Chain A
Amino acid sequence: MTSEQLIAGQTRGMGELIEIAGKTTELAPFGRELAALGRERSDIVALTADMGRYSDILAFRDEHPDRFFNVGMAEQNLIAVSAGLAKTGKIAYCTTYSVFVSRRAYDFVAIAGAHSMANVKIFAGMPGLMNGYGATHQATEDLNMMRGIADLTIIDPCDATELKQVVRAVADIPGTVYVRLLRGNVSVELDPVTYQFTVGKAAVLRPGGSVGIISTGYMTARALDAAAHVAPQGVDVGVLHVPTIKPFDTAGVLAFAAQYDRVIVAENHKTTGGLATLVIEAMFDAGVIRPVERIGLADSFFECGSQEYLEARYGVDLPRFVRAILQEA
């Protein structure tokens, strides 16, 4: 292929914002909400490991420079310093990419953070296929890894509305929390007036229908888009959003799944060890036996490319959802 043929799609610079056609978006909701929270609470501090620009946390630095600390490219130290701050009564929000928290700083999250119930709130950037820099930068197994840590809360928000609520909620959740961060121009899917994030609770966003989708993270936005896409064909789809991976809302998932003859589970993560595994375990244990189709990533390392290209190639894009709903090959 020539470069002319390839130019239509390319890996973006990490600072480049993801444009979402036809969506209302909000710029840097995490950093702006954290800066606002910092105005209200003097015990909030923020840290990054050279990922300030790419995690939207600089809005906090600009307003509260005396409470912001960039430790440089040292993710183990990021967690250790955050834990130390937490152990003096601060609530330490810290950012790096999800891949560097999970793969590199795991022991520090477990021992310095979770074991001590330290108030370390990790906002882990560009999870799953959201990063176009290939396997080195794509945390496609972070949910699986992190849920192995006892006393750790894990949240995968859907959109800007939920992310901002999570920024505030985690301040009052005791202990260490791992949040999959959405950055840049983040789409607004949920109505801030009617939607309320509650840790440990799944939310039915679309009730009823002939097939139910259980999803987490921004794959919930895709599930809602897919449901809207097939509605004109007379196909009714229910959607359950599961923002909290741990503690897992077993009762909520079972109540939803039991209504359907078949269930689709969708996540920006490998299809093993994450949401699908949790859902299937819960259903099997309770005797709620239904066919389950998994939308997610294979057990593989992935290449560089634009998010649209990677999602289409590896089967987490809108057409993949539509095929699953309609049971097309």
Chain B
Amino acid sequence: MTTTTHMSPGAPTGADLDRLRVRAYELRVSMLDMAAGKGEGYVAQGLGMADCLAALYFFEMRHDPQNPSWAQRDRFLLSTGHYSIAMYALLARAGYLDLAELPTYGLNGSRLPMSTFDDLPGIEIVGGSLGQGLGQAVGMAIGLRLDGQGSRVFCEVSDGELQEGSTWEALMSGATFNCDNLVALFDCNGVQADGAIHVQLEPVADKIAAFGWDTVEINGNDLVALTDALVNARQADGRPKAIVMRTQPGSGIPTLERRERAHFVRISDDEWQVCRQELEAGRPEVRND
């Protein structure tokens, strides 16, 4: 597998953008395979994050799948450990894991459990206790700055985690310690365990900006917007960066996009087959430049 060259000069266009879309599509295929194989899973959130993960690992981040503990790598922290299905798909497609291991997702004794643990190469933290990711990302950003090797930190945070006070503590710290090598990616998909988010969170982007973060709000399923935002987040201007992503749970599969109970999906074998057909119908093509 290739190691992503750090910091392409600008956001991808043409065939490069198409290839990134194919990467995101392949992540969705792997996620669907895992969920269908198990019959259930947190697949809707994972599908919503597919474009973000593709943009990070196949465009923006400095990393080496052959050397997951490379000291100079950029870090990606998945704060929501239950999005593990997305992370395993990503790690397999990026070359950290063998694709053949993905069917063990969620099985007893598997290295790919329902929630992420940091003993798996490529996983930086124990995710899942929500509200613990961003604070650790701040600490990593400070530590990597002390090392002076130019490494950056990318941290996924869910909109549900904005209900944890510790997330706001971490937002204060990111600005206090001028963590301009930190990019927080807020996955605002509008759902949590009990259904649609009813807690008054908005305006999310304004609140985060008010905490001193350089903040942009985008469609988190638009790879052009994502890569543009990541390029703009490279500025070493003393401010931490926040990308508020409005994402669609189940993105890429209309049956799952329409599903009301999107937090944890458990559907029949027939329905999984429909999902697969819908996903394949949207397979992106790579144009000839």
Q: Does A85 contact B (CB under 8 A)?
A: yes
Q: Does A174 contact B (CB under 8 A)?
A: no
Q: Which residue of B lies closest to A120 (CB)?
A: B139
Residues in B neighbouring A69, C-beta threshold 8 A: 142, 177
B132 touches A71 (CB 8 A): no
* CB 8 Å contact bits of B159-194 with A (1 = contact, 0 = none): 000000110011011001100000000000000000
Given contacts A77-B135, A80-B134, A88-B140, 7 further A-B contacts (CB under 8 A): A72-B173, A76-B131, A80-B138, A81-B135, A86-B143, A87-B136, A108-B132
15 A-B pairs with C-beta separation under 8 A: A72-B172, A74-B169, A76-B165, A77-B170, A77-B172, A80-B132, A84-B137, A84-B140, A85-B140, A87-B124, A87-B139, A88-B146, A89-B147, A112-B125, A115-B126
Task: List residues of B whose CB falls within 8 A of some A CB.
Answer: 71, 118, 124-126, 128-129, 131-132, 134-144, 146-147, 165-166, 169-170, 172-173, 176-177
Bound-complex Cα distance A276 to B50 (A): 53
- Whether A92 touches B169, Cβ cut-off 8 Å, given contacts A71-B176, A108-B132, A112-B125, is no
Number of interface residues of A (CB under 8 A): 28
Q: Identify which of residues 80-112 in chain A touch chain B, using a CB-to-CB cut-off of 8 Å.
A: 80-90, 92, 107-108, 111-112
- Whether A82 touches B126, Cβ cut-off 8 Å, given contacts A76-B169, A111-B132, is no
Task: List residues of A whose CB falls within 8 A of some B CB.
Answer: 45, 66-67, 69, 71-72, 74, 76-77, 79-90, 92, 107-108, 111-112, 115-116
- Whether A84 touches B169, Cβ cut-off 8 Å, given contacts A71-B176, A112-B126, A112-B135, is no
Which of B71, B129, B139 interacts with A84 by CB under 8 Å? B139
B139 touches A82 (CB 8 A): yes
A71 touches B140 (CB 8 A): no
- Whether A76 touches B166, Cβ cut-off 8 Å, given contacts A81-B139, A116-B125, is yes
- Whether A80 touches B176, Cβ cut-off 8 Å, given contacts A85-B142, A88-B144, is no
Q: Which residue of A lies closest to B144 (CB)?
A: A88
Residues in B neighbouring A86, C-beta threshold 8 A: 139, 143
Question: What is the CB-to-nearest-CB distance from A272 to chain B, in angstroms, rounded to a whole number?
Answer: 28
List of 3 A-B pairs having minimum Cβ-Cβ separation, nearest first: A84-B139, A80-B135, A88-B143
Bound-complex Cα distance A274 to B137 (A): 34
B136 touches A112 (CB 8 A): yes
Specify the main secondary structure of chain B where it touches its partner: helix
Q: Which residue of A lies closest to B145 (CB)?
A: A88
Which of A66, A71, A85, A89 interacts with B169 by CB under 8 Å? A71
A81 touches B124 (CB 8 A): no
Question: What is the CB-to-nearest-CB distance from A137 to chain B, in angstroms, rounded to a whole number?
Answer: 20
In the complex, number of A-B residue pairs with CB atoms less than 8 Å apart? 102
Q: Which residue of A lies closest to B132 (CB)?
A: A112
A81 touches B136 (CB 8 A): yes
A89 touches B143 (CB 8 A): yes
Bound-complex Cα distance A107 to B132 (A): 9
Question: What is the CB-to-nearest-CB distance from A116 to chain B, in angstroms, rounded to a whole number?
Answer: 6
Q: Which residue of A lies closest to B182 (CB)?
A: A84
Bound-complex Cα distance A111 to B144 (A): 21
Q: Which residue of B lies closest to A76 (CB)?
A: B166
Question: What is the CB-to-nearest-CB distance from A124 to chain B, in angstroms, rounded to a whole number?
Answer: 18
B139 touches A83 (CB 8 A): yes
A77 touches B173 (CB 8 A): yes
Bound-complex Cα distance A41 to B177 (A): 22
Bound-complex Cα distance A92 to B166 (A): 19
Residues in A neighbouring B134, C-beta threshold 8 A: 80
B132 touches A81 (CB 8 A): no
Residues in A neighbouring B135, C-beta threshold 8 A: 76-77, 79-81, 83-84, 108, 112
Bound-complex Cα distance A219 to B173 (A): 38
Residues in A neighbouring B132, C-beta threshold 8 A: 80, 107-108, 111-112
Question: What is the CB-to-nearest-CB distance from A108 to chain B, in angstroms, rounded to a whole number?
Answer: 6
Residues in A neighbouring B126, C-beta threshold 8 A: 111-112, 115-116
Bound-complex Cα distance A128 to B169 (A): 27
B146 touches A45 (CB 8 A): yes
- Whether A87 touches B169, Cβ cut-off 8 Å, given contacts A80-B132, A112-B125, A112-B132, is no
Question: What is the CB-to-nearest-CB distance from B121 to chain A, in angstroms, rounded to a whole number?
Answer: 14
Residues in A neighbouring B128, C-beta threshold 8 A: 111
Residues in A neighbouring B176, C-beta threshold 8 A: 71-72
B173 touches A81 (CB 8 A): yes
A87 touches B166 (CB 8 A): no
Bound-complex Cα distance A83 to B118 (A): 13
Residue from A69, A81, A89, A107 having most chain B Cβ neighbours under 10 A? A81
B140 touches A87 (CB 8 A): yes
Which of A85, A112, A115 interacts with B143 by CB under 8 Å? A85
Bound-complex Cα distance A262 to B257 (A): 70
Which of A66, A76, A92 interacts with B139 by CB under 8 Å? A92
Bound-complex Cα distance A57 to B172 (A): 22
Question: What is the CB-to-nearest-CB distance from A80 to chain B, in angstroms, rounded to a whole number?
Answer: 3
Residues in B neighbouring A82, C-beta threshold 8 A: 139
- Whether A84 touches B136, Cβ cut-off 8 Å, given contacts A77-B169, A112-B126, A115-B126, is yes
